[in-house]
Amino acid sequence: MPDSQQDLFPRREFVKRAGAGGLLLSTGGALAACGVKKSSSGGSGNTIKVGYVSPLTGEAASFGEPDTYVLGQVRKAIAGGITGADGKHYTVEILQKDSQSSPQTAASVANALINGSAVDLMLTTSTPEVVNPVADACEAAGTPCISTVVPWEAWYFGRGAKPGNKAAYKYTYHFSFGVENFAATYISQWHLLKTNKVVGALYPNDADGNAIRAGLIPLLEKGGFKVVDAGPYNDGLNDFTTQINTFKSHNCQILNTFPLPPDFATFWRQAIQQGYKPIIAQIAKTGLFPSQVEALGSLGPTLATGAYWHPVWPYSSSLTGLSGAQMQAGYEATGKQWTQQLGADFALWDVGIAALKHAPNPKDKVGLANSVATLKVDTPMGHLDWTQGPVKNVVDTIIPGCQWFKSKPGSKFTLDLLMTENAQDRSIPIQARLVPYGSV
């Protein structure tokens, strides 16, 4: 990131704000902590058990869509076992569980893996409703856990860590983007088009929206943008006329929103019908996957968003050796279009297996957990280094700007997500010039 941008949001100031805001879909730390006994070591023998919890069904099932393909590649890569730092050879058994997109189920299956299966390591991904209860269960039981695809502040502060506490957890580690990364992307992306720099903020009255309001708005204002906050609205709102009129009256030429997908569909159709059409419509939380944008029909193309992974990123999986292009080709051979989660899933397994190899003894849970704090590993999301995180347990990752476009003739898919901004990593290729919403 250029120095001029990095100066806009120093970490110390941001972490203070983030903690005060509660930050991003917190689910409470007590869901999975009851009745769990700590254990300092896993099962005996030379088999390492790795638990894996993700949403295969329920509201967040789209995040779990690549699991079958990714786990197939991972199992091939570890079919011959691994050699630990202690020089011993281990076989690795993967035990997969569906969280059903439910915090209660996530906690239940995590405890079953910990107490019933005696897993040595837990991996989990996608949304605080899944990841936080699993991490809480692992922290309570003394089982090492690594997670991703939850804004890191939601994972850290949402589970009870206080501002200023940079080592709140002993057994749980995380890598993902944060509000600071969103701000860096937006400030860079929004300068690509000429606007009046007035941003209409549409943030819901939920943990996610209120945390974004507390953490992101000050950073955007420091970056030179005027933010018009339409005020918190309740999830499931059917009439956004008041918010739309606010944006129109202030001539908000940029829209920024973090809504539930159905709420954005309702808002966006009403906005266009009522004559509000910003130059840049930057969406997050919704619009991650092609299906969410396809559901908007003709109103979907040229919506702007961010990508926590993209096949054109110049990084590969250290475990499988697959490049982004190879991941995309292999996954799309199954008949489904690539999604950002594909690269994140590979990255999680890169980290998990690297952690087992890095530990002095992968069967010693305390030693394994402690060793993650010094772990460095190459992944499709870039090089991750736990010695450089904003807090001891976290590596923050980038989420550069991109835009949805209609696919070229002959494509078997309807939409393409193309990179338009790379201020946080200049090695990422720009695929398309950012265009005003609705201009193509």
Reported as a single tens digit per residue, the pLDDT across 333-344 is 999 999 999 999
Do 157 and 26 meet the contact criterion of CB atoms below 8 Å apart? yes
Question: Is 266 within the bounds of a domain?
Answer: yes
Tell me how many domains the chain contains. 2
Residues 128 and 150 both lie in one domain: yes
| 340-358 helix and 324-332 helix, angle to the nearest 10 degrees | 120
> The pTM is what?
0.88
Residue 137 CA: distances (Å) to CA of 27, 43, 104, 354, 372: 13, 18, 11, 22, 18
Question: Is 2 within the bounds of a domain?
Answer: no
3 state SS of 385:
strand
Do 35 and 206 meet the contact criterion of CB atoms below 8 Å apart? no
| Percentages (nearest 5) of helix, strand, coil residues in the chain | 35, 20, 45
Reported as a single tens digit per residue, the pLDDT across 155-179 is 998 899 988 887 899 999 999 999 9
Question: Is 120 within the bounds of a domain?
Answer: yes
Alpha-carbon distance of 122 to 95, in angstroms, equals: 9
Burial class (CB in 10 A: 0-12, 13-18, 19+), 119: buried
Residues 302 and 337 both lie in one domain: no
| 207-222 helix and 179-190 helix, angle to the nearest 10 degrees | 50
Question: Is 152 within the bounds of a domain?
Answer: yes
Reported as a single tens digit per residue, the pLDDT across 101-143 is 999 999 999 999 999 999 999 999 998 889 999 999 999 999 9
Q: Kindly report the CATH number assigned to the domain that includes residue 276.
A: 3.40.50.2300
Residue 308, pLDDT above cutoff 70: yes
Residues 285 and 222 both lie in one domain: yes
| 376 φ, ψ (degrees, to nearest 5) | -135, 130
Reported as a single tens digit per residue, the pLDDT across 1-19 is 433 343 444 443 444 444 4
Question: Is 428 within the bounds of a domain?
Answer: no
Residues 286 and 205 both lie in one domain: yes
Residues 277 and 413 both lie in one domain: yes
